[in-house]
């Protein structure tokens, strides 16, 4: 019964979305307030219907109703309840339902919180949003119906992959979807602006919170994914340049660019065309990411069951959405006002360079990700894959100028600035960072100069973030609590986010320069050395688990006088035959001690366990930095500036001037 | 000129869409073998027999013996889940008079023997690659995999995954017949 209710709610949602895609657009063209108001109600109704459908599916998973094919294929009775519920989105069909749910919730958000939007703009945004909804709802209903029944129903279902039975899975996909799908809102904003032929400061101000609303969860999702891979996959790495990681990273890079270019459009009315282009591309890359995961065009650890039919459908959606938007861009953008001029040294030019570099970085990742697809299309025998060496070689050098600029940017004045005055403001942090660089290079040796540079770069960014707050807190009359109290949340957000990049940069620099590893066969009582660690195997034993058997080894890890004991396990899940590694990780601010065991093997001295020992200096900083960036974004989002009315637009409703689409 | 800049994104996108569409027609899991039309890598592997005198077909073989007639070289293991599924097809291939040789990959000889005793032995020769070194030379990515070797000892075809009756009838048997006809 529940499955049918869910299915029916989904069909109704499709019909509502279809009406929402057409009527408000018509209303905006004719100046019909009733039709425009329909868009708002429809957005709410659509969100309610999809919420019902999603709740139905979740209850079905909770009840373990194996007469529903999806439930039978992706959960088993032996699975704990939280993981059975999380299995709702641990598969293709369910995750598509989550996709449309998030999409509809954002749509309802525009309807609910968009009171201060121009009515025609809001109506058009809701209509574009509904068009995307129609496409995805049709996709879900026609090619991947989550409510399909299975007859006869099996007594028990198939187990969820043990790797996915982890708290990481519960949060990682929903956060990423909030991010990906959030860019649909900015996409709708961009398309609506192109239709209206107007992208003014008010438009940018309305759009900015939505950019943040997508960017913050995306940042959290990527950070969490990286952390999860580190502790669950047992490879001791934190980023693999896997095609699907890249698929989430590209919208993040463009979203970051969009966040900054929208500021220029908001404050100075400039770069409007560029902002629109970024908004279109950020969502297009999210769609392409979805395509990558589900079409099976590339092999990846994230790949869902491969189904070319779905690939064709998603590709058609990408062509429809991105093609139309870029076509509209080619047609309309040249006529839009290009905004105020600015000097070559100014906040605007700083943000422009930031955008260009972020765009170039996106292009680097894009090329690396799609090069195999393109090469294979040219010559089918040409199977290649692009690995970390490419990215390290190209991505790292290109990001250095950007990171150097991050601290300079907020010190620049709008419109026009003098190099000398900027130099004076940055003198102290620059001296400190250079001093740190020189000191570290001498202390660690010149062969570690690149890592020393990375650490100094991190310090430069953190100092720069401090400088932003310092500049705000020390007025003409010295430090004042009043100035601290009145600091806008957006300024705090800026400082937090920029400091976050600094923390992440320092972590990456330390990891790439000073990580140590040893792989060897060990027997109880033996001691091995890895970097600053001395690891002794204390003992190894077989232990039974609830639904697995484990080989457990205990280690004593000594480092600089302190001692810690770590336990590493290798689990064999008896039902599915899957093996997982539970690494023993000793966490501290200075770095992580990481011990993982492998197979039993024999070397010259008899049988022993393969043990991998890693020393990962400052690795936690990488994720902590990501968290800081997300917190910065959230702080910025909470700025009350976004909730008070946007600057008054001189022209009121002028429907007659807007050409019908 | 200025207009052109605004048209550029859609042109670039159109190009990308073409490649994505072409990419959809390919199977990413299909990995070409580097060995096609190259001689079989050299190996001389021990057998799995406990009494090689009485079981010459289980006494192992070397790559040098792959000359004179086309053969199938099948990589399998007793722990492999798909191998029992492929097994009847191998029996049929052997019954049709095509010689099949088997390498037991990363498998203990006693386990291999037990497996053959249980399912029956379709192989004209069985060898053991316990350490998996030869499999590395062959570029084996999993079991089962099957190489088709021609009269001159060159690899002509590689089947990844079990040979289904359709693959045998539609692809491999015609190839074997063609290889037999070759000089």
Task: Print burial letters for B126-152: b (CB count within 10 Å at least 16), e (below 16).
Answer: bbbbbeeebbeebbbeebbbbbbbbee
Asked if A98 and A174 touch (Cβ cutoff 8 Å), the reply is yes
Asked if A25 and A125 touch (Cβ cutoff 8 Å), the reply is no
The pLDDT of residue B28 is 53
Q: Bigger pLDDT: B1 or A89?
A: A89
Report how far residue A578's alpha carbon sits from residue A279's, in angstroms, rounded to the nearest whole number: 42
Flag whether residue A367 sits within 8 Å of chain B, measured between CB atoms: no
The pLDDT of residue A560 is 84
Task: Render pLDDT for A630-639 as a digit per residue (tens, 0 to 9).
Answer: 999 999 998 8
Find the Cα–Cα–Cα–Cα dihedral A473, A474, A477, A482, rounded to 10°. 10
Tell me if B32 and A383 make a contact (CB, 8 A cut-off): yes
Q: Bigger pLDDT: A158 or A31?
A: A31
What angle do helix axes A201-232 and A167-196 make, rounded to 10 degrees?
160
Of B6, B16, B29, the CB nearest to A333: B6
Averaged pLDDT for residues A284-295:
81
Q: A597: which strand partners?
A: A611
Domains of chain B, residue spans: 29-181
Of A291, A299, A322, the CB nearest to B29: A299
For residue A614, pLDDT over 50 is answered with yes
For residue A144, pLDDT over 50 is answered with yes
Q: How confident is the model at residue A648 (pLDDT cuts 50, 70, 90)?
A: very low
Flag whether residue A297 sits within 8 Å of chain B, measured between CB atoms: yes
What is the rounded average pLDDT for all residues in chain A? Answer: 86
Task: Render pLDDT for A323-336 as a digit per residue (tens, 0 to 9).
Answer: 999 999 999 888 87
Flag whether residue A211 sits within 8 Å of chain B, measured between CB atoms: no
Query: The pTM is what?
Result: 0.81
Of B19, B24, B28, the CB nearest to A312: B24
Residue in B with minimal Cα distance to A602:
B131
The pLDDT of residue A649 is 45
Tell me if B28 and A277 make a contact (CB, 8 A cut-off): no
Q: Read off φ and ψ for residue A532, nearest 5 degrees.
A: -85, 0
For residue A453, pLDDT over 50 is answered with yes
- Using a CB-CB cut-off of 8 Å, the residues of chain B touching A277 are 9
Tokens, residue A68: 């529903």
Q: What is the CATH number of domain A516-620?
A: 2.60.98
**How many interface pairs between A and B have CB atoms less than 8 angstroms apart?**
67
Q: How confident is the model at residue A398 (pLDDT cuts 50, 70, 90)?
A: very high
For residue A643, pLDDT over 90 is answered with no
Mark out the alpha helices in A31-166 (DSSP H runs).
33-63, 69-74, 81-86, 92-113, 119-143
Shortest Cα–Cα distance, B65 to chain A (Å): 30
Pinpoint the residues of chain A covered by CATH 2.60.98. 516-620
Tell me if A329 and B28 make a contact (CB, 8 A cut-off): no
Flag whether residue B28 sits within 8 Å of chain A, measured between CB atoms: yes
Indicate the range of A32-46, A641-655, B121-135 predicted with least confidence.
Answer: A641-655
Tell me if B6 and A297 make a contact (CB, 8 A cut-off): no
Tell me if B28 and A296 make a contact (CB, 8 A cut-off): yes
Of A311, A323, A380, the CB nearest to B10: A323
In terms of average pLDDT, the best of A126-140, A512-526, B101-115, B163-177 is A126-140
**Residue with token string 């990995």:** B31
Indicate the range of A238-242, A592-596, A651-655, B110-114 predicted with least confidence.
Answer: A651-655
Q: How confident is the model at residue A448 (pLDDT cuts 50, 70, 90)?
A: confident
Q: A582: which strand partners?
A: A569
Flag whether residue A291 sits within 8 Å of chain B, measured between CB atoms: yes
The pLDDT of residue B26 is 63
State the pairing for strand pair B71-76/B60-62: unpaired
Report how far residue B155's alpha carbon sits from residue B147's, in angstroms, rounded to the nearest whole number: 7
Q: Bigger pLDDT: A642 or A29?
A: A29
For residue A259, pLDDT over 90 is answered with yes
Indicate the range of A77-81, A111-115, A262-266, A502-506 predicted with least confidence.
Answer: A77-81
Asked if A67 and A153 touch (Cβ cutoff 8 Å), the reply is yes
Shortest Cα–Cα distance, B28 to chain A (Å): 6
The pLDDT of residue A658 is 39
Flag whether residue B97 sits within 8 Å of chain A, measured between CB atoms: no
- Between 3.40.50.2300, 3.40.605.10, 3.40.50.180, 3.40.30.10, what CATH number should domain B29-181 receive? 3.40.30.10
Residue of A297, A600, A602 to mutate when probing chain B, most B C-beta within 10 A: A297
Indicate the range of A127-131, A303-307, A343-347, A437-441 predicted with least confidence.
Answer: A303-307
Task: Render pLDDT for A158-203 as a digit per residue (tens, 0 to 9).
Answer: 766 666 677 777 888 889 989 999 999 999 999 999 999 888 888 9
* pLDDT more than 70, % of chain A: 91
State whether residue B76 is helix, strand or coil: strand
> CB-based burial of residue B57 (10 Å sphere; 0-12 exposed, 13-18 middle, 19+ buried)?
middle
Task: Render pLDDT for B30-86 as a digit per residue (tens, 0 to 9).
Answer: 566 777 888 888 898 988 888 777 788 888 899 888 888 899 999 998 888 778 888
> How many CB atoms sit inside 10 A of residue A545's CB?
13
| HSE toward the beta carbon, residue A427, CA cutoff 13 A | 6
Q: Cis omega (within 30 of 0) on the bond before A20?
A: no
Query: Measured in whole angstroms, how far is the alpha carbon of residue A63 from the centre of its chain?
Result: 32
Asked if A313 and A143 touch (Cβ cutoff 8 Å), the reply is yes
- Using a CB-CB cut-off of 8 Å, the residues of chain B touching A373 are 19-20, 23
Query: Measured in whole angstroms, how far is the alpha carbon of residue A339 from the centre of its chain?
Result: 31
Q: Read off φ and ψ for residue A135, nearest 5 degrees.
A: -60, -45
Longest alpha-carbon distance in chain A: 89
For residue A655, pLDDT over 60 is answered with no
At the topology level, CATH places domain A1-165 in 1.20.120
- Using a CB-CB cut-off of 8 Å, the residues of chain A touching B32 are 381, 383
Query: Measured in whole angstroms, how far is the alpha carbon of residue A519 from the centre of its chain?
Result: 33
Residue in B with minimal Cα distance to A325:
B10
Flag whether residue A365 sits within 8 Å of chain B, measured between CB atoms: no
> CB-based burial of residue A230 (10 Å sphere; 0-12 exposed, 13-18 middle, 19+ buried)?
buried
Q: How confident is the model at residue A573 (pLDDT cuts 50, 70, 90)?
A: confident
Shortest Cα–Cα distance, A618 to chain B (Å): 36
Averaged pLDDT for residues B143-157:
89
In B135-154, the residues whose Cβ lies within 8 Å of chain A are none
What angle do helix axes A201-232 and A243-268 make, rounded to 10 degrees?
150
Tell me if B13 and A334 make a contact (CB, 8 A cut-off): no
Averaged pLDDT for residues A229-258:
85
Tokens, residue A250: 């590209």
Shortest Cα–Cα distance, A373 to chain B (Å): 6
Tokens, residue A411: 């010190």
Averaged pLDDT for residues A212-226:
94
For residue A493, pLDDT over 50 is answered with yes
The pLDDT of residue A99 is 92
Q: Distance between the two ends of chain A, CA-based, in angstroms?
A: 43
The pLDDT of residue B29 is 54
Q: How confident is the model at residue A432 (pLDDT cuts 50, 70, 90)?
A: very high
- Using a CB-CB cut-off of 8 Å, the residues of chain A touching B16 are 370
- Specify the DSSP element, H or E, that contains A587: strand A584-588
- Specify the DSSP element, H or E, that contains A500: helix A489-514
Tell me if A297 and B20 make a contact (CB, 8 A cut-off): yes
Task: Render pLDDT for A337-373 as a digit per residue (tens, 0 to 9).
Answer: 666 678 888 888 999 999 999 999 999 999 988 888 7
Residue A197 per-residue DSSP state: T
Report how far residue A557's alpha carbon sits from residue A510's, in angstroms, rounded to the nearest whole number: 21
State whether residue A415 is helix, strand or coil: coil
Indicate the range of A167-171, B22-26, B105-109, B129-133 predicted with least confidence.
Answer: B22-26
> How many CB atoms sit inside 10 A of residue A5's CB?
15
Residue of B24, B77, B139 to mutate when probing chain A, most A C-beta within 10 A: B24
Nearest-5° Cα angle at A318, A317 to A319:
90
ipTM (interface pTM): 0.78
């Amino acid at each position: 019964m529940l499955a049918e209710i869910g299915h029916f709610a989904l069909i109704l949602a499709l019909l509502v979305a279809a009406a929402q895609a057409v009527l408000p657009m018509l209303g905006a063209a004719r100046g019909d307030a009733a039709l425009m108001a329909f868009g708002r109600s429809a957005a709410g109704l659509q969100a309610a219907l999809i919420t019902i459908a999603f709740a139905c599916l979740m209850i079905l998973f909770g009840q373990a109703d194996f007469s529903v094919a999806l439930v039978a294929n992706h959960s088993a009775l032996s699975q704990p309840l939280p993981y059975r519920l999380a299995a709702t989105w641990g598969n293709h069909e369910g995750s598509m339902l989550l996709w449309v749910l998030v999409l509809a919730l954002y749509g309802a958000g525009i309807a609910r919180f968009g009171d201060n939007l121009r009515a025609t703009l809001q109506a058009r945004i809701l209509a574009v949003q509904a068009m995307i909804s129609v496409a995805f709802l049709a996709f879900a209903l026609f090619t991947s119906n989550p409510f399909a029944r299975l007859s006869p129903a099996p007594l028990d279902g198939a187990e969820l992959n043990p790797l996915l039975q982890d708290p990481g899975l519960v949060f990682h996909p929903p956060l990423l979807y909030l991010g990906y799908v959030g860019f649909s809102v900015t996409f709708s904003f961009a398309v609506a602006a192109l239709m209206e032929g107007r992208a003014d400061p008010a438009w940018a101000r309305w759009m900015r919170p939505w950019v943040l609303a997508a960017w913050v969860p995306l940042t959290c999702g990527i950070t969490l994914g990286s952390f999860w891979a580190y502790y669950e996959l047992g490879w001791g790495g934190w980023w693999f340049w896997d095609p699907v990681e890249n698929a989430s990273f590209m919208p993040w890079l463009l979203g970051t660019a969009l966040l900054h270019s929208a500021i220029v459009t908001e404050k100075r009315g400039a770069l409007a065309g560029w902002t629109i282009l970024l908004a279109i591309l950020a969502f297009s890359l999210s769609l392409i990411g979805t395509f990558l995961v589900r079409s099976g065009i590339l092999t990846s650890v994230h790949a869902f069951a491969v189904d070319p039919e779905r690939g064709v459908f998603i590709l058609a959606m990408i062509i429809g959405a991105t093609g139309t938007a870029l076509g509209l861009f080619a047609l309309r953008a040249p006529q839009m006002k290009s905004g105020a001029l600015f000097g070559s040294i100014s906040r605007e030019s700083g943000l422009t360079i930031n955008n260009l570099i972020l765009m170039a970085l996106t292009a680097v990742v894009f090329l690396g990700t799609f090069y195999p697809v393109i090469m294979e299309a040219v010559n089918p025998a040409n199977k290649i894959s692009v690995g970390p060496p490419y990215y390290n070689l190209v991505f790292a050098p290109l990001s250095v100028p950007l990171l150097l600029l991050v601290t300079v940017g907020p010190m620049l004045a709008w419109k026009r600035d003098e190099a000398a005055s900027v130099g004076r403001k940055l003198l102290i942090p620059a001296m400190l960072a250079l001093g740190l660089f020189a000191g570290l290079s001498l202390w660690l040796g010149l062969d570690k100069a690149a890592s020393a540079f990375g650490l100094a770069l991190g310090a430069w960014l953190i100092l720069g973030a401090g400088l932003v707050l310092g500049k705000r807190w020390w007025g003409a009359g010295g430090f004042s609590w009043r100035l601290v109290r009145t600091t806008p949340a957006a300024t705090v957000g800026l400082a937090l986010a920029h400091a976050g990049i600094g923390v992440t940069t320092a972590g990456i620099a330390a990891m790439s320069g000073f990580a140590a590893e040893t792989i060897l066969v060990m027997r109880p009582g033996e001691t091995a050395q890895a970097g600053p660690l001395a690891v002794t195997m204390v003992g190894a034993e077989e232990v039974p688990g609830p639904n697995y058997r484990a080989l457990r080894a205990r280690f004593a890890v000594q480092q600089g006088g302190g001692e810690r004991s770590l336990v590493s396990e290798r689990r064999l899940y008896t039902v599915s035959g899957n093996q997982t590694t539970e690494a023993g990780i000793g966490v501290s601010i200075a770095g992580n001690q990481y011990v993982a065991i492998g197979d039993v093997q024999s070397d010259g001295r008899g049988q022993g366990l393969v043990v991998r020992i890693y020393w990962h200096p400052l690795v936690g900083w990488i994720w902590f930095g990501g968290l800081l960036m997300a917190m910065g974004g959230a702080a910025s989002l909470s700025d009350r500036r976004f909730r008070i009315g946007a600057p008054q637009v001189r022209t009121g409703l002028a429907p007659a001037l807007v050409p019908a689409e | 000129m200025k207009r052109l800049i605004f048209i550029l994104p859609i042109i670039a996108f159109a190009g990308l869409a073409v490649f994505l569409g072409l990419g959809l027609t390919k199977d990413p899991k299909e990995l070409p073998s580097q060995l096609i039309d190259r001689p079989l890598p050299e190996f001389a592997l021990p057998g799995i027999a406990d009494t090689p005198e009485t079981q010459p077909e289980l006494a192992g073989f070397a790559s040098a013996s792959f000359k004179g007639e086309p053969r199938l070289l099948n990589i399998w293991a007793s722990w492999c889940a798909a191998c029992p599924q492929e097994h009847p097809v191998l029996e049929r291939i052997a019954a049709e008079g095509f010689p099949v040789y088997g390498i037991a990959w990363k498998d203990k000889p006693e386990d291999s023997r037990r497996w053959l005793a249980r399912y029956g032995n379709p192989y004209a020769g069985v060898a053991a690659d316990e350490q998996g070194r030869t499999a590395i030379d062959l570029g084996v990515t999993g079991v089962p995999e099957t190489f088709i070797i021609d009269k001159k000892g060159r690899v002509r075809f590689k089947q990844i995954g079990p040979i289904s009756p359709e693959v045998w009838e539609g692809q491999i048997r015609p190839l074997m017949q063609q290889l037999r006809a070759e000089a």
